[in-house]
Structure 1
Amino acid sequence: MKRAGKQACVIGWPIEHSRSPAIHGYWLDRYRIDGTYTKEAVRPEDVETFLRGLANAGFSGCNVTIPHKEAAFRIADERDASAVAVGAANTLWLEGARLCAANTDTYGYMTYLALQAEDWNRRDAPVSILGAGGAARAIVHGFLEADVGEIRLFNRSAERAATLAADFGPRVKVFPWEQRSRAATESAVLVNTTAVGLKGEGSLDMDFTDFHPDCIVSDIVYVPLETALIRDARRHGLHTVDGLGMLLHQAVPGFEKWFGVRPEVTDELYDKIAADIEGAR
């Protein structure tokens, strides 16, 4: 059943955990837009039918979360450079009858990094990335676009890391997982893109003792807001960037596509979602 006003949603399986409705709902209220943003549980076998039926269901587009990002990329009629680089889409919108796709994780990560550490690239130093999954691909793409000369990739599966490096070219170099502390000491930025630390589980066992004092340590995990990696880096006096800002900023392009207003990520929104995260623990 169609609702009044503009409509968008987030799809996934499961979908109960998504905080996207809280983010977009905040903006709908703030900008007094007649619209809705809902969570839609879509089984993997139903994803193409759902996406092909967006217009008939009254949706302007949707966000896509696990496990549908690769399927959304394949189903889309048009894909922007970010989606092509990552091989997955998290934001879909309609242009006429055509389904368009983007991956806004690159935008979300790089925007928040620049806001929190605007001089992150003032040193001619490599960037080090832990992990080689979809998020790592989005962030590698962002740093390459920012003209970083060398990206050092550390992943438990050397084969997966090698595949990523081959896809992105010679500026991405693979290092053994066991060297993640020693080979990253001179980094301009160290980024954790793995799920280690999510809900406080597991440890990356990074030794920050010899790290360059200007290194920025970033974690895309945002539950908890202060992961063990962030806490350890702060203890060594390093500048840190949490994962919540990436989540908030990656939502901006989609909202603009669906509702016609480019929203602002405010301190109030950050505090609202942070409180929700802390309250759910």
Structure 2
Amino acid sequence: MTDTALPYAEVIGDPIAHSKSPLIHNFWLNKLGIEAEYRKTHVKPAELAAYFLKRRADPDWLGCNVTIPHKVAVMEYVSDPGRVGDLIGAMNTIACETGGPLIGTNTDAGGFLGPLLSSGFKGRSVCIIGAGGAARAILYALGQIGVRELTVMARDTAKGQALLDRAGLAGTVISLDAPLPAADLVVNSSPLGMAGQPPLDVDLAPLPSHSVVYDIVYAPLDTPLLVQARERGLAAIDGLEMLIGQAALAFDIFFDAQPAREHDAELRALLTAEG
């Protein structure tokens, strides 16, 4: 049992201290007057099986969001009626149905696309940095809007090629220390540049003036990549945009209510003030 009678959802990962998801979900719960809560829980890879066994026995648990490094590993423990495993190959949201199986899905793809489409992006060529679980969702999302000219920059180029093959998309795989291609969109889907992680060392000089730079890292919010993009006059999308977008989709799944998106400006101010 939990230490509260309130129903709750949470985010799990390793590390997890940096997560802003509880602030987002609890902000919406408060605005809507819903008596529930959202937490963050540190779960190491070796603890996943025990975690799900324990949570399934808790009647107050509504499900969880999943962050690094568990987005692929969690697929072993859940049902997949939407074929998310086949289509994306990673999950970031697990819903607990009373008396039924755990259902896995992915809200990263929709969360990623929202701010990109709002920016008016109509480019064709994309460079994705990283080949992990987030990159899988991003590639799927880009495939849905017809992007076909793809470059994956990965530390492990074989892993980058496997990422393209899984998505069923043609593209080029280059190493992280290769020059950046002149893409219409550059996405950092890796943890590089996040607080406590190695920096992302990339030169944006090859990008044309119309390019968009999108960094899904949100701690810090102004990553060196985005600072460099703005200094070059390029359009920049920060990690809070995707974080809030994917959280909104997950909130509806957990709490059966639409989040209070009319308060996004206030929410962003709170998230930014938190650091």
Could you tell me the TM-score, scaled by structure 1's length?
0.86
| 1:19 equivalent in structure 2 | 20
Structural mapping, 1:119-198, within 5 Å: 119-121=120-122, 123=123, 125-181=124-180, 184-185=181-182, 187-198=183-194
> What are the superposed Cα offsets for residues 99-130 of structure 1, whole Å, 9 maximum, x if unpaired?
10112211111112223x1x211x4x311111
Structural mapping, 1:201-240, within 5 Å: 201-208=198-205, 210-240=206-236
Contact 2:71–2:133 (8 Å) recurs in 1: no
State the percentage of identical aligned residues.
33
Q: Does 1:101 align with 2:98?
A: no
| 2:242 equivalent in structure 1 | 246
CA distance in 1, matches of 2:42, 2:199: 29
CA distance in 2, matches of 1:163, 1:85: 14
RMSD (Å) for aligned C-alpha atoms: 2.2
For residue 23 of structure 2, what is the amino acid of its counterpart? A
SS of the residue corresponding to residue 198 of structure 1 reads coil
Contact 2:193–2:223 (8 Å) recurs in 1: yes
SS of the residue corresponding to residue 64 of structure 2 reads strand
For residue 274 of structure 1, what is the amino acid of its counterpart? T
CA distance in 2, matches of 1:258, 1:170: 32
Deviates more, 1:5-14 or 1:222-231: 5-14
Deviates more, 1:6-15 or 1:95-104: 6-15
> What are the superposed Cα offsets for residues 200-233 of structure 1, whole Å, 9 maximum, x if unpaired?
952423142x422211111111222111111112
CA distance in 2, matches of 1:188, 1:29: 39
Contact 2:32–2:260 (8 Å) recurs in 1: no
Quote the offset at 1:241 in angstroms.
0.7
For residue 75 of structure 1, what is the amino acid of its counterpart? Y
CA distance in 2, matches of 1:176, 1:67: 21
CA distance in 2, matches of 1:94, 1:102: 12
Choose from 250, 255, 258 the match for 1:259: 255
Cα 1:228–1:67 change in 2 (3 A) is: closer
Quote the offset at 1:43 in angstroms.
4.4
Quote the offset at 1:71 in angstroms.
2.9
| 1:90 equivalent in structure 2 | 92
Cα 1:128–1:15 change in 2 (3 A) is: closer
CA distance in 2, matches of 1:178, 1:271: 35
Choose from 106, 110, 114 the match for 2:113: 110
> What are the superposed Cα offsets for residues 133-161 of structure 1, whole Å, 9 maximum, x if unpaired?
22211111110111112211122322111
Quote the offset at 1:32 in angstroms.
0.3
Count of matched residue pairs: 269
SS of the residue corresponding to residue 34 of structure 2 reads coil
Contact 2:191–2:217 (8 Å) recurs in 1: yes
Quote the offset at 1:249 in angstroms.
1.3
Cα 1:42–1:237 change in 2 (3 A) is: closer
Q: Which consecutive unaligned segments of at least 5 residues does structure 2 have? A: none
| 2:5 equivalent in structure 1 | 4
Quote the offset at 1:78 in angstroms.
2.2
Cα 1:238–1:28 change in 2 (3 A) is: same
> What are the superposed Cα offsets for residues 6-54 of structure 1, whole Å, 9 maximum, x if unpaired?
3212223443332221111111101000112223334444422332443
Contact 1:8–1:36 (8 Å) recurs in 2: yes
CA distance in 1, matches of 2:103, 2:65: 12
Contact 2:184–2:207 (8 Å) recurs in 1: no
Contact 2:88–2:167 (8 Å) recurs in 1: no
Contact 1:220–1:243 (8 Å) recurs in 2: yes
SS of the residue corresponding to residue 129 of structure 1 reads strand
For residue 89 of structure 1, what is the amino acid of its counterpart? M
Contact 1:82–1:138 (8 Å) recurs in 2: no
| 2:35 equivalent in structure 1 | 34
Contact 1:73–1:79 (8 Å) recurs in 2: no
For residue 250 of structure 2, what is the amino acid of its counterpart? G
